[in-house]
Amino acid sequence: MNGQIDWSELFFSAAGRAPRAPSWIAAAILVAIAALYEAVVGPALHWLTGWFVYPVLFYCGACVLSKRLHDRGRSGWWAALVLVATVAVWPQPNSFFDFFFTLVLIWAAVELGAMAGEAGTNRYGPNPLRPAVVA
């Protein structure tokens, strides 16, 4: 990302690393789109259009989560657990297993939202906040 955020890369590529602030903004945008979609589309139309809307939202969410996980030095595959937990508790937790998924989301919020990324270059690329200077 070289110091500047390429929003299309953040939403549509799982490669590389992403800092906290853009990841929070991207996650808020995706949740807002999902909530707006749920509020505007009726049940009949939801059944038809959801097959197109939700895969795009999940793909974008997986890319954002993967980049943030990479910044923390973790595999992007952990994004699958976070996405499954999000689906399980959306729009509100109802069962005992939802308690477990809520704990997963709390872990993700702390791990990805509160903790800083690895200081230097890791196996996923250079630190997005301090790009390497080319001499």
Coil vs helix vs strand at 125: strand
What is the mean predicted confidence (pLDDT) over 20-45? 91
Q: Which two tokens stand for residue 83?
A: 């996405």
Coil vs helix vs strand at 131: coil
Picking from 42, 82, 36, the residue whose alpha carbon sits closest to that of residue 58 is 82
Residue 45 pLDDT grade (very low, low, confident, very high; cuts 50, 70, 90): confident
CB-based contact 116:20 (threshold 8 Å): yes
Residue 106 predicted with pLDDT over 80: yes
The pTM of this model reads 0.85
